[in-house]
Structure 1
Amino acid sequence: MTASFVTGLVLAAGGSARLGRPKQLLPYRSVTVLGHVLDTARACNFDQLVCVLGGGADSVRAGVDLSGVTVVENRGFGEGCSSSIAAALSAIDPHCEALVLMLGDQPGVQASTVRALLAGRGDAALAACAYADGRGHPLAFARSTFAVLGELHGDKGVWKLLDRAGEEVVDVPVPGPIPPDVDTWEDYQAVLAEAGPPSVHSDVDHLDAEDGVDGRGATIEG
């Protein structure tokens, strides 16, 4: 049995301290990192799409298409991803039977991966993507877990929950390695390289030496 009402939750509240600018707004393909993740989420045809903002929220609102998205602002984003999940729970539709958790800085995730996760979880309370190199996002949670989700702490709270659940977690096989997320300029370069040639990232040449990368996303020495 599969859930009839599914909410997609995109976490995009990170402060981007190691990058020095909002990673949500870094160019990716023809949009931005977060813009691409939201486009992927829209392609999943969720019954509801929620996105949590935090660091640089005003800039993100101005620079990303948030149409059709319920936006939640987490002012306590410095407390980790768990605080963003807790902030989002109050905005989730009461009809929601399953929640799919996606990362706003992981643009390599495809809609087909989300569909495989939902098809493979059955009626399990907890499900994760089983990539070739390990367990990763997106993750799926049944409504029965929401109270526990709201009590998690820190950046690793979700992973600790999955570890505690042990064999109760359904690991759904999906192709390829875990898509990289963006925390550093090196991560961003890896994401760009995975996505395709520099020409597909229309605004990358706007990044300058102060950002530590050149127009191809390559590190500038010095």
Structure 2
Amino acid sequence: MSLGVVVLAAGLSSRMGRCKALLPWRNGTILDAVLAAFTDLPMQSERILVVGRDRATMEPIATRHGFCTVKNPCPEDGQASSLRQGVAALGDVDGILCAVADQPLLEARYIRRMVDVFGKHGGNRQRIVCPQYGDTRGGNPVIFGASWREDLMKVTGDVGGRAIVRGKGKAYVSHCPLPAEVGCDLDTPEEYAKMYRLWGKL
């Protein structure tokens, strides 16, 4: 079974005021922390980082973690435009794991849990695996079976694959329980300051 990983890092970070993926986190950046979660997958994988205006800075980080970069020339078109670019860059895989670059509490053990849930369905090409953060279902990352590839290539706007999960794919969704704090993402300076104070220091 093979897995394609697509991490979206081309956003404009308009609410943060600067590129949030490149903010300091422990002994590196938030992007380092996120990409490290995908470097020890229990199956063959392709790893794609979709970048935007900060490609020159992000590319060495991506390379260090075994990712190839793909540039989204129009990141202002929303998250879906990056998702399409990333999925298009993948070869023939059994599943597509879609993630975002602002969840620094993700760790390899949590990704492996999600992959295990996907694997229990035999790599079913219609299966979708979503996280359950505490009592809250949904969020990122999400694993889509390969049969959803064409649908992922048609998403629009700023919602990514959410329309599939809540729409035609709803009957195929399995949830993987994860600690509530792992689902925290970063959009504003206040959110970053709080998370850094709690978890971002060495």
1:150 is aligned to 153
Matched residue SS, 2:31: helix
Shift of 1:65: 4.6
1:88 matched to which residue of 2? Answer: 86
Off by >6 Å, runs of 4+ in structure 1: none
Q: Cα RMSD (Å) of the superposition?
A: 1.8
Q: Is the 8 A contact 2:62 2:69 kept in 1?
A: no
Cα offset, 1:85, TM superposition: 1.0
Whole-Å separation in 1 of the counterparts to 2:62 and 2:145: 28
Partner in structure 1 of residue 31 of structure 2: 34
Question: Structure 1 regions of 5+ residues with no counterpart?
Answer: 201-222
- Residues 170-215 of structure 1, C-alpha deviations (whole Å, 9 max, x = no match): 112223345211211012123213415x4x1xxxxxxxxxxxxxxx
TM-score (norm 1): 0.80
- Aligned pair count? 193
Deviations 1:62-115 (A, max 9, x none): 5x3523211100011111111111011221022x11111121111111111111
Quote how far apart the aligned CAs of 1:161 are: 1.4
Does 1:138 find its partner at 2:141?
Answer: yes
Q: How does 1:22-171 map to 2 (within 5 A)?
A: 22-44=19-41, 47-61=45-59, 64-67=61-64, 68-94=66-92, 96-121=93-118, 122=121, 123=124, 124-134=126-136, 135-164=138-167, 165-171=169-175
Structure whose alpha-carbon radius of gyration is higher: 1
**Aligned-residue identity in percent:** 26
Amino acid of the residue matched to residue 142 of structure 1? G
Q: Equivalents in 2 of 1:55, 1:181: separation in Å? A: 21
**Does 168-177 or 111-120 show the bigger shift?**
168-177
Partner of 1:220: none
Q: CA deviation at 1:30?
A: 0.2
1:34-85 residue CA offsets vs partner (Å, 9 max, x unmatched): 11111121133552111000132223335x3523211100011111111111
Give ranges in structure 2 of 5+ residues lacking alignment: none
TM-score (structure 2 length as normaliser): 0.87
Q: Is the 8 A contact 1:133 1:177 kept in 2?
A: no
